[in-house]
Amino acid sequence: MLPEFKTDDPEGTKNSILKKIKKIREELPILLGKKERTYDRVIRPLNDLVQEMQIEFTVLAHLNSVKNSEQIQALYAEVLPEITAFYSDLGQNEELNLVYQEILKNENDTLNVPQKKVLQDAVTQFKLSGIGLPPEIKKRIQEIQVRLSDLGNQFSQNLLDATNSFELVLDRLEDVEGIPESDLNAAKTQDGKYRFTLHMPSYMAYMTHGPNRSIRESLYKAYTTRAPQNGKLIEDILLLRNELAKLLGYRHYVELSLATKVADSEKTVLKFLRDLAKQVRSIAEREFVDLSNFAKTLGIDSLRAYDAAFVSEKLMKSRFDFDEEETRPYFEKESVVSGTFQFLNKLFGLEFRKTSAQVWEEKVQVYDLYRSGKLLSRLYLDFESRKDKQGGAWMHDWHSRNRIANEEILPTAFVVCNFPVSTKDSPSLLKHRDVVTFFHEMGHALHHLCTKIEEPPVSGISGVEWDAVEFPSQFLENFATEAGVLKIFGRHYKTGETIPDSMIAKLKETKNFLSAMGIVRQLEFSLFDILIHEKNYTEEDVHSILQNVRKEVAVVIPPEYNRFQNGFSHIFAGGYAAGYYSYKWAEVMSADAFFAFVDKGIFDPELCNAYFTEILEKGGSENAMVLFRRLLGRDPEVGSLLKLYELKESY
């Protein structure tokens, strides 16, 4: 069964969520009071009730991200504490915890693997909710969880409000000289001026191509000083997270975070990050020297952070005689989508059929996924940037695969990006990095949409360890530079010409341009994330830690006014707290799997099917490392990551 996405009554959605929470609270004692407390009589019905409520909450949460308004903000803010309190109450229910443990023990011989994982994960979560602790401690844990949820929402909303409140209008042609035509068309106002904002497509257009250095600095300063009030929120968030960790018996929040991940300790994570930094930092330093020397030829004697994108683009053009803008006519959005679907058909036998369904924005597209003629799931694509839409790109799961009273519930998911806006005069033309982003988010989507597991807590991306959840997304994005893939959809939007081999060669040459600098930047974020979660730190402490991490691993040192942390929503308003390292950790897995495919010519039927059945179909039903070993017969090797970035001195 596939549902319709309804946007016409958000107030009704909010009320329905609250009613469903009330219903679960009323049904739970009845379920727990059953004489025969089995998986099918207690756990499955409870999970079904929770899933029904979560489906409705996802609608409201999704609208808050893609169709933000004062009404949606208010409704979301009203229901969020109720949701948080509900899950906290559920996680602290002593009798429910005993039932989970009882069923896990009594039915161990008859439960299947996904069902055991549901129970094992739940028992772990009970511990993380404070089960068995005194009532006053449990009450405090719940208060903390509700408050943290509210603070994360405030953080995110402050960032969006700050992004929306800034614009820079330019009226001199010399200030926009060299900016690609498509970006200028997007920036052009009705009176012939040019409007630039802090939304990513607009911001990066000027930072990469804008000729006026002082304007670049103004934009950079506005971007890196957004939402200063988030500094105090960070202080409050860290204080509460560490209090929560200590109440649950952990030394600090890092230990709590790692309790549900593949990595076994903070020591393991820090060693992984610092070992990688040691292997690539010297290369990154040489890259920075090259960049600085080239900057001098442009009249920039001292390279600053706000020059980096501009000078990098100029150096890439000079060194490779290549301008990424030259590729955009070959990556028209609709062609990229249809071609990507062709590639996925060849890789996994998937068929994407466009369908008509209710959506929240007229440009949103909807596709039903089939394999071997069988309907699997539904995908929503929301590509173009809008003022009422959060920045960035993400995949959001809506329905999980399930079966209720013999009725099959099929998975659904949203892929959201912020690509250039199409107009009546110009289609949405993507940069190659946008194509990579689409492949990345499609990797997440396939992980959710292709599952065959019918237990929602471990179906699709649910139940996947956080430091492995990026494995399928990063795996798929690696194919976005392969010639055989690019030729499927790389067509000039005016002439129909296939993307030339010479251009693909340039893309491959430039893919790892300044890659060591990119790696140390991600390591900077990852180390910062771990270190600030070790103790209770003030706003000033947090900034000091970030500066020290930069001294340890960074090669581009930002100006003192930079407050990157106030916009780091991944860890303060998302799921990556003390877990941002997961991107690089999972990238080792994805690089290893990618080269296994490349070594067999990409489309090896046996390997393609093994990946589909062991990784995509299994979802979160087994430990991610177990599934990886089953796929390749060994543990992942970090050398594959260094090989991926062509850092030859290091592997």
Query: For residue 325, what pLDDT is reported?
Result: 85
| Count of domains observed in the chain | 3
The DSSP bridge partners found for residue 379 are 367, 413
Classify residue 539: in a domain, yes or no: no
**Alpha helix segments (H runs only) across 376-466:** 432-449
**8 Å CB contact between 423 and 436:** no
Average pLDDT over residues 75-82: 95
Classify residue 74: in a domain, yes or no: yes
Nearest CA-CA partner of 623 in 611, 614, 613, 636: 614
Query: For residue 650, what pLDDT is reported?
Result: 41
> Which sign, positive or negative, has the C-alpha torsion 515, 516, 522, 524?
negative
- DSSP 8-state class, residue 68: -
CATH number of the domain that residue 352 is part of: 1.10.1370.40
How does 559-569 read in b/e, with b if 16+ C-beta sit within 10 Å?
Answer: eeebbbbbbbb
Query: For residue 552, what pLDDT is reported?
Result: 97
Residues marked active site are found at 441
Residues 113 and 182 in one domain: no
Distance from C-alpha of 406 to C-alpha of 100, rounded to nearest angstrom: 24
CATH number of the domain that residue 116 is part of: 1.20.1050.40
Instruction: Kindly report the pTM of this predicted structure.
Output: 0.84
Average pLDDT over residues 532-546: 97
CA 43 to chain CA mean position, Å? 30
The percentage of residues in the chain with a pLDDT greater than 90, rounded to a whole number, is: 91
Residues 100 and 220 in one domain: no
* Parent domain of 40: 10-91+93-129
Whether the predicted pLDDT of 188 surpasses 80: yes
Residues 65 and 180 in one domain: no
Classify residue 462: in a domain, yes or no: no
Average pLDDT over residues 117-140: 94
Q: What tens digit of pLDDT does each residue of 496-532 get?
A: 999 999 999 999 888 899 999 999 999 999 999 999 9
Q: What tens digit of pLDDT does each residue of 354-395 get?
A: 999 999 999 999 999 999 999 999 999 999 999 899 988 999
Three-class SS of 70-99 = HHHHHHHHHHHHHHHHHHHHHHCCHHHHHH
Q: What tens digit of pLDDT does each residue of 406-431 get?
A: 899 999 999 999 999 998 888 999 99
648: confidence class by pLDDT, cuts 50, 70, 90:
low
Query: For residue 651, what pLDDT is reported?
Result: 37
Distance from C-alpha of 176 to C-alpha of 180, rounded to nearest angstrom: 9
Whether the predicted pLDDT of 446 surpasses 80: yes
**8 Å CB contact between 432 and 549:** no
DSSP code per residue over 554-586: -SSPPPTT--GGGG-HHHHTSS-TTTTTHHHHH
Retrieve residue 372's tokens: 């071997």
Distance from C-alpha of 242 to C-alpha of 533, rounded to nearest angstrom: 7
**8 Å CB contact between 592 and 637:** yes
Average pLDDT, the chain: 95
Q: Provide φ and ψ at 112, rounded to 5°.
A: -85, 175
Residues 193 and 333 in one domain: no
Classify residue 113: in a domain, yes or no: yes
Per the document, the length of the chain is 651
Residues 378 and 488 in one domain: yes
Query: For residue 425, what pLDDT is reported?
Result: 84
**8 Å CB contact between 342 and 488:** yes
Whether the predicted pLDDT of 85 surpasses 60: yes
Distance from C-alpha of 529 to C-alpha of 550, rounded to nearest angstrom: 12
Residues 343 and 481 in one domain: yes
Nearest CA-CA partner of 529 in 156, 148, 269: 269
Using a 10 angstrom Cβ sphere, with 0-12 exposed, 13-18 middle and 19 or more buried, the burial of residue 181 is: exposed
**8 Å CB contact between 401 and 459:** yes
Classify residue 377: in a domain, yes or no: yes
Q: What tens digit of pLDDT does each residue of 264-294 get?
A: 899 999 999 999 999 999 999 999 999 999 9
Q: What tens digit of pLDDT does each residue of 145-157 get?
A: 999 999 999 999 9
Residues 115 and 194 in one domain: no
Using a 10 angstrom Cβ sphere, with 0-12 exposed, 13-18 middle and 19 or more buried, the burial of residue 386 is: middle
CB atoms within 10 A of CB 127: 16
Classify residue 267: in a domain, yes or no: no
Distance from C-alpha of 567 to C-alpha of 589, rounded to nearest angstrom: 28
Q: What tens digit of pLDDT does each residue of 206-222 get?
A: 999 999 999 999 999 99
Residues 75 and 201 in one domain: no
